[in-house]
Amino acid sequence: MRRRDFISLFGGAAVAWPLAAAAQQNTNKKRLAIFSPSEPSADLYENSESKFSRTLFAELRRLGQIEGKNVKVERYGREQNTSGPEALATEIVRSDPDVIWVVGPGAVIFKKLTSRIPIVAITGDPVKQGIADSLAHPGGNFTGVSVDAGPSLYGKRIALLREMFPTMSKLGCLILGLQWNGPITGPAIRAAAETTGLPLAVSLLEIGTSEAGYRVAVESISREGADAVMVVESPELFQNAALIAKLVGEAKLPTIFTHPEAVEAGGLMAYSFDLIELYKRAANTIDAILRGANPGDIPIYQVTKHELSINLKTAKQLGLSVPPALLASADKVIE
């Protein structure tokens, strides 16, 4: 064989080998789909402004799951939610990823769409929603973390708000419609309000509600006679916490939120759980599934610790004197 032919034959093969290896590596990448229709897609990256996404990806990286190397991440955020969360979830299921990370109350949507694709969700009570047999043994294709510490959580938030504002006579409630009309959150809030003898003024919001819509919602509960407000946890309301804090402040309504970020933005108080911890746990669960674990065998973690945050400047603006005992019990105080 002539030298030129030898080089042509084996040199070409040498070039082809790395290309084939690269193609094989790309084929072997696991696919992680992120469903978070309330968040901008830009917030769903490792280097984004969202400390929660940064936490998720940092933990995945620590565990060896690296985007672009052995994991392909497909993001479905606010910009992709043009036809509603159900249509977006259907699109994701149709693409058949290896695992879906679901942020918010959308887990029940996926329950209707697939019993095969592993779902890791941050959600309310998964047992009452019918997406898990139990926390210890989910049993199906769902697992993740639960922010639901039971119906007493809403009673606790109402009690804290009443301690801050003893003359509260009617409670306004800002909540997503699918939560209020669902089997868990709505009934729990109604029961808590009934136990404390408080009538409710409820404004229902949707994923993607405009600023004008939030303004109408706050004006509505104020017009109905609410003199204090409870904001119910969801990614949608979390994303708009600063706007809500501004609107309830303008309406002079003492308000309890579900995350300290709202208090930092000017909200009065919050009784919250540690989302950073939950995102780290979710990353570990996603890693386990990508390595072959069955989601039905992975226990669902339920939040147990809550922290109280108070904004003293906002209390002063509302003409409220913070009780010493309440102040002493706060985990975070903003002067």
Provide the domain count of the chain: 2
186 closest CA partner among 151, 136, 160: 151
Q: How confident is the model at residue 99 (pLDDT cuts 50, 70, 90)?
A: very high
Per-residue pLDDT tens for 313-326? 999 999 999 999 99
Instruction: For residue 294, give every residue at least 6 positions away whose Cβ sits within 8 Å of its Cβ, in sequence order, or none.
Output: none
Instruction: Read off the pLDDT of residues 298-316 as tens digits, 9 standing for 90 and up.
Output: 999 988 889 999 999 999 9
- Taking the C-alpha atoms of residue 130 and residue 133, their distance in angstroms, rounded to an integer, is 7
How is residue 138 written in tokens?
């989910």
Task: Give the C-alpha distances (Å, rounded to integers) separating 266 from 35, 276, 327.
Answer: 29, 21, 17
Is residue 329 very low, low, confident or very high in pLDDT (cuts 50, 70, 90)?
A: very high
**β-bridge pairing 142-146 and 301-302:** parallel
Same domain, 76 and 157: no
- Do 221 and 260 fall into the same domain? yes
Asked if residues 141 and 295 have their Cβ atoms less than 8 Å apart, the reply is yes
Same domain for 290 and 202: no
Q: Contact at 8 Å (CB) between 107 and 115?
A: no
Listed residue (106, 86, 82) closest to 94, CA to CA: 86
The enclosing domain of 215 has a CATH number of 3.40.50.2300
CB-CB contact of 166 with 194 (8 Å): no
- pLDDT one-digit tens code per residue, 209-237: 999 999 999 999 999 999 999 999 998 99
Residue 137: how many CA atoms within 13 Å on its side-chain side? 1
Domain shared by 101 and 170, yes or no:
no
Q: Are residues 208 and 321 in the same domain?
A: yes
Q: What is the domain range of residue 315?
A: 152-272+306-334
